[in-house]
């Protein structure tokens, strides 16, 4: 029983990290209709920013805002220069663009920081182990990441459900024509969503760096699992991304622990089941 609780905690923690990545993916997909394959690379860029900044300054507390600000800048620039030319084009063109971005990000990473794996030190204040159930400890940093993810999720809900900007984003995601009817500036909403989505992915990368270690192509696995989360939760729905990420995090963790032979398959089985039962995802508003 204690083992089960420990695994549930692992699943929730993993799921919340997935939420940070997939919330940006689902918003960009929902509002602009772009399949951003480079989202995993942005996660990697965030992790490498954490590595570079921690190496230079010794502090993750400096690295986290750097990743967020870097994400906003990179996201806004990508939207302005590249993506907005692709909204009206078909998905194949978008896939080609974003795949090219993956190659560019990886090559830039290789040239700037090399191909080695690196580990990023956890902040000294959080480097202690907290005893949990079943003779198992959790590092304080891992718990802090869990709390940070929850705070980000709460902030996103507040913004999206309670503010004017949020309702404009919701309108853009659900009824794009409403944005024009309400006299809102769609192009600014697009840039905002893209910048925030990118910043979330890079924040996730920076938060994960001390947990995950930093290595080439580290975003690939996260990209695929994030697409699963988006499909399960429903495209464009932040609430869907939240509950979908928790579900996928728990299923993946439990499968690894209790059904190791099926651990690679479990999340995809869930996705297939959801697609059969509710093809638009669990939280899509029909």
Partner 1 sequence: MVSPGNVSRRTFSAGMAALGAAGALGRPAVAQGAALKVGLMLPFSGTYAALGDSIATAFELYLAEKGGKLGGRGVQVIRLDDESDPSKAVQNVNRLLSRDKADVLVGTVHSGVVMAMVQASRERGVPLIIPNAGNVAATRDLCAPTVFRTSFTNWQPAYGMGRALAAQGVKRAAWVSWDYAAGNEAAEGFRDGLKSGGAELVKTLLLPFPETNFQPILAQLAGLDIEAAGAFFAGGGAVQFVRDYASAGLAARIPLSGSGFLTEGTLRAQGAAAEGVRTALHYGDGLDNARNAAFRAAFKDRAKREADVYAVQGYDAGQLLAAGLEATKGDVDADKVLVAAMEKARIDSPRGAFTLSQSHNPVQNIYLREAKGGENVVIGVAAPLLADPGTGCKMAAT
Phi and psi for 212 in degrees, rounded to 5?
-110, -15
Q: Please select the residue that binds partner 1; options are 112, 135, 181, 277, rule is CB under 8 A.
A: 135
Q: Please select the residue that binds partner 1; options are 22, 94, 198, 253, rule is CB under 8 A.
A: 253
Give min distance, CB of 128 to partner 1, in A: 9
26 lies in the binding site for partner 1 (CB under 8 A) = no
115 lies in the binding site for partner 1 (CB under 8 A) = yes
55 lies in the binding site for partner 1 (CB under 8 A) = no
Query: Measured from the CB atom, is 13 or 94 closer to partner 1?
Result: 13
Alpha helix segments (H runs only) across the chain: 2-32, 39-57, 60-81, 91-113, 140-162, 164-174, 176-181, 186-212, 219-233, 238-258, 266-277
Residue 166: alpha-carbon gap to chain centroid:
19
Give min distance, CB of 76 to partner 1, in A: 31
Paired strand residues for 214? 118
Q: ∠99-100-104 over CA atoms, to 5°?
A: 120
190 lies in the binding site for partner 1 (CB under 8 A) = no
Query: Measured from the CB atom, is 59 or 115 closer to partner 1?
Result: 115
What is the distance between the terminal CA atoms of the chain, rounded to a whole angstrom?
39
Which residues are at the interface with partner 1 (CB under 8 A)?
A: 2-3, 6-7, 10-11, 13-14, 115-119, 121, 129, 131, 134-139, 141-142, 212-216, 221, 253-254, 256-257, 260, 263-264
């Amino acid at each position: 029983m204690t083992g089960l609780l420990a695994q549930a905690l692992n699943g929730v923690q993993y799921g919340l990290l997935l939420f940070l990545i997939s919330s940006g993916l689902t918003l960009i997909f929902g509002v602009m209709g772009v399949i951003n394959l480079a989202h995993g690379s942005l996660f990697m860029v965030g992790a490498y920013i954490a590595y570079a900044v921690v190496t230079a300054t010794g502090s993750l507390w400096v690295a986290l805002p750097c990743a967020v600000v870097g994400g906003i800048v990179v996201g806004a620039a990508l939207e302005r220069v590249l993506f907005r030319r692709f909204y009206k084009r078909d998905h194949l063109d978008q896939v080609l663009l974003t795949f090219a971005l993956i190659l560019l990000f990886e090559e830039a990473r290789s040239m700037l920081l090399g191909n080695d794996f690196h580990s990023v030190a956890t902040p000294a204040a959080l480097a202690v182990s907290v005893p949990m159930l079943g003779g198992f400890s959790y590092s304080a940093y891992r718990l802090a990441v869990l709390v940070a993810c929850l705070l980000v999720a709460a902030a996103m809900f507040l913004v999206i459900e309670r503010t004017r900007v949020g309702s404009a984003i919701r309108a853009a995601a659900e009824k794009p024509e409403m944005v024009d009817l309400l006299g809102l500036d769609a192009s600014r909403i697009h840039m905002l969503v893209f910048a925030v989505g990118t910043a979330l992915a890079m924040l996730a990368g920076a938060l994960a760096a001390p947990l995950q270690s930093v290595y080439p192509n580290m975003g690939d696995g996260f990209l695929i699992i994030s697409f699963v989360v988006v499909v399960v939760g429903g495209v464009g729905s932040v609430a869907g991304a939240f509950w979908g990420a928790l579900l996928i995090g728990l299923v993946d963790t439990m499968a690894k622990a209790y059904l190791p032979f099926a651990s690679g398959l479990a999340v995809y089985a869930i996705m297939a089941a959801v697609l059969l039962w509710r093809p638009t995802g669990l939280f899509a508003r029909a």
